[in-house]
C-alpha cells in the first residue's frame, strides 16, 4: 500500500516556542505530553514510518506561538531536504488578519505552502475551545479571508467540533471555490450513542458539499488504543458519507504515536475498510491527498 500522509507535525522547542508543549502548560486532552515534548525531527518521523511505502507527506502547523508562525514555515522549509520525499506545508494564518495578503505572500515565499489552518474548535457544552471567538464561522471578515486564500489556489484545514458542523456547512457552501479539509474525523467529543448521532448529522451536512474533504486521522478521542471494534462504526460511516475519493489518511504523528504506531494505524484502517476496492483504498491512502494538496 503506497501512502501519502495527509497530517503530521515536526517541532523543535529549542528553536521555536510551542506554548502547549511547555512543562508548565496543562496536559492536553489526549493525556501526558511529556513523551512528545522534545524535538520531533525528520529522522524521528522516518523511524516512525519505517516499513511503510510512504511517498510524501503534509505538514500541518503545530500550534507554535502565533507571532512565530512565519518562523515555523521557514524552519520547516529548511527541514525539507532531510525529509527525503515530497513535503508540503499547511501554515498558521488567521483569515481575519488585516494584513492577510502580506502574511500569505510571506509564507508562500518561505516554503512549499499549499494551505492554511486556523483551529476554530469551540464547544461550550464540553468546555473545549481553542478559538477566542465562538462566532468566527459566521464573521464576514473570516469569510472574506477564506476567499483570498482560495484565490491563491490553496485549501483551508477545518479543525472544529461536531456542534459547529451545521454552521460550518453554511460557510463551506458560501465559499464554493475553496477546498475545505475537515481535520481528525470531525473531532468527536462525545462517543455515546447521542454523541455519535450528533456527529453523523453534522458530517452528513458537510459531505453533501463537493468542496469538502475529510481526514481519517486523529482517532484517539474515540479510542486511545485504536481498537478496531471501537473505531469501526465511526470510520465506516465517515467513508460512506464522503466516499474514498474525498477521504485522506493522516498519521497525526507524533501526537498519536504513544497511542498507536503508524504501521498499526494503517493495518487497523485497512481491516475496518476491507470492503473497499484496491482503487478506492489507493484514493484514501494516497491519491486523494496528492490531488488536493497538488504534489
167-210 pLDDT per residue, tens: 999 999 999 999 999 999 999 999 999 999 999 999 999 999 99
**Cβ–Cβ under 8 Å, residues 129 and 89:** no
199-251 pLDDT per residue, tens: 999 999 999 999 999 999 999 999 999 999 999 999 999 999 999 999 999 99
Reading the block at residue 293, the C-alpha cell is 494538496
133-169 pLDDT per residue, tens: 999 999 999 999 999 999 999 999 999 999 999 999 9
Residue 131 DSSP one-character state: S
* Euclidean distance between CA atoms 274 and 194, whole angstroms: 27
Residue 28 DSSP one-character state: P
Q: Is the pTM of this model over 0.85?
A: yes
* Euclidean distance between CA atoms 35 and 279, whole angstroms: 37
Q: Domains of the chain: which residue ranges? A: 2-292
Check residue 125 and give its pLDDT: 86
Fold entry, domain 2-292: TIM Barrel (3.20.20)
Amino acid at each position: 500500500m503506497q501512502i501519502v500522509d495527509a497530517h503530521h507535525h515536526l517541532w523543535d522547542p529549542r528553536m521555536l516556542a510551542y506554548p502547549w508543549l511547555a512543562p508548565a502548560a496543562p496536559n492536553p486532552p489526549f493525556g501526558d505530553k511529556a513523551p512528545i515534548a522534545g524535538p520531533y525531527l525528520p529522522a524521528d518521523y522516518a523511524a516512525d514510518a519505517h516499513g511503510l511505502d510512504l511517498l510524501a507527506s503534509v505538514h500541518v502547523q503545530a500550534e507554535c506561538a502565533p507571532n512565530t508562525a512565519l518562523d515555523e514555515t521557514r524552519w520547516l522549509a529548511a527541514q525539507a531536504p532531510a525529509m527525503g520525499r515530497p513535503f508540503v506545508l499547511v501554515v498558521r494564518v488567521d483569515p481575519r488578519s488585516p494584513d492577510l495578503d502580506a502574511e500569505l505572500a510571506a509564507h508562500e515565499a518561505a516554503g512549499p505552502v499549499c494551505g492554511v489552518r486556523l483551529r476554530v474548535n469551540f464547544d461550550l457544552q464540553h468546555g473545549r475551545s481553542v478559538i477566542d471567538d465562538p462566532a468566527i464561522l459566521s464573521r464576514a471578515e473570516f469569510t472574506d479571508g477564506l476567499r483570498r486564500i482560495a484565490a491563491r489556489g490553496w485549501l483551508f484545514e477545518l479543525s472544529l467540533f461536531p456542534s459547529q458542523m451545521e454552521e460550518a456547512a453554511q460557510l463551506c457552501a458560501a465559499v464554493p471555490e475553496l477546498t475545505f479539509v475537515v481535520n481528525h474525523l470531525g473531532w468527536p467529543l462525545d462517543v455515546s450513542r447521542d454523541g455519535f448521532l450528533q456527529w453523523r448529522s453534522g458530517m452528513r451536512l458537510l459531505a453533501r458539499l463537493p468542496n469538502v474533504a475529510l481526514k481519517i486521522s486523529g482517532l484517539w478521542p474515540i479510542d486511545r488504543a485504536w481498537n478496531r471494534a471501537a473505531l469501526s462504526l465511526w470510520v465506516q460511516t465517515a467513508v460512506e458519507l464522503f466516499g474514498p475519493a474525498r477521504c485522506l489518511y493522516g498519521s497525526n504523528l507524533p501526537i498519536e504515536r504513544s497511542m498507536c504506531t503508524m504501521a498499526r494505524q494503517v493495518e487497523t484502517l485497512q481491516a475496518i475498510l476491507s470492503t473497499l476496492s484496491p482503487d478506492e483504498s489507493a484514493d484514501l491512502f494516497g491519491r486523494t491527498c496528492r490531488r488536493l494538496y497538488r504534489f
